[in-house]
């Protein structure tokens, strides 16, 4: 999205020409993901604790694992958000062979709902 907003301005300001380089966009996407996870991480963890979405530890397990009781277990949500948003912001999504692949690769298989993943998640 930012590519389509800022790259056309290269005729006015030559510095915007860097948006055509995938290495530039990748570096900024990584920094964007880092900032998103730093900002959303503490809020999301606290929110999960409030709704009691924590890890259950069996009593017959090792004593060292008992201290993990109540630890939020939905960190994948934060990872998915921190990957998907920068991908949509910085990728050239209209480039048919690469853009669609970038968005498709940014969404983990479990989020896309492959049946095999659901079965393996139930048995693990």
The pLDDT tens digits of the residues spanning 29-63 come to 999 999 999 999 899 888 887 877 666 667 776 77
- Which helix (DSSP H) or strand (DSSP E) does residue 103 occupy? helix 96-106
pLDDT score, position 33: 94
Of the candidates 73, 65, 105, 63, the residue with the CA atom closest to the CA atom of residue 88: 105
Residue 29: left (phi > 0), alpha (psi -120 to 50), or beta? alpha
Residue 61: left (phi > 0), alpha (psi -120 to 50), or beta? beta
Tell me whether residue 22 is in a domain: no
Tokens of 23: 């290495």
Q: How confident is the model over 88-117, as pLDDT tens digits?
A: 898 887 776 655 566 666 666 555 555 544
Tell me whether residue 53 is in a domain: yes
Between residues 19 and 54, the one the model is more confident about: 19
Tell me whether residue 98 is in a domain: yes
Domain that holds residue 37: 29-110
Per the structure, the count of domains in the chain is 1
Phi, psi for residue 67 in degrees, rounded to 5: -70, -15
Tell me whether residue 7 is in a domain: no
Tokens of 69: 């009781």
């Amino acid at each position: 999205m930012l590519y389509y907003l800022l790259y056309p301005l290269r005729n006015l300001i030559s510095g915007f020409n860097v948006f055509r380089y995938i290495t530039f966009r990748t570096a900024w996407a990584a920094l964007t993901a880092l900032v998103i996870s730093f900002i959303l991480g503490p809020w999301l963890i606290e929110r999960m604790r409030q709704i009691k979405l924590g890890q259950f530890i069996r009593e017959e397990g090792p004593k060292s694992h008992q201290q993990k009781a109540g630890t939020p277990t939905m960190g994948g949500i934060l990872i998915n958000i921190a990957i998907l948003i920068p991908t949509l912001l910085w990728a050239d999504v209209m480039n048919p062979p690469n853009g669609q692949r970038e968005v498709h690769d940014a969404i983990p298989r479990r989020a896309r709902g492959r049946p095999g993943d659901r079965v393996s998640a139930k048995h693990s």
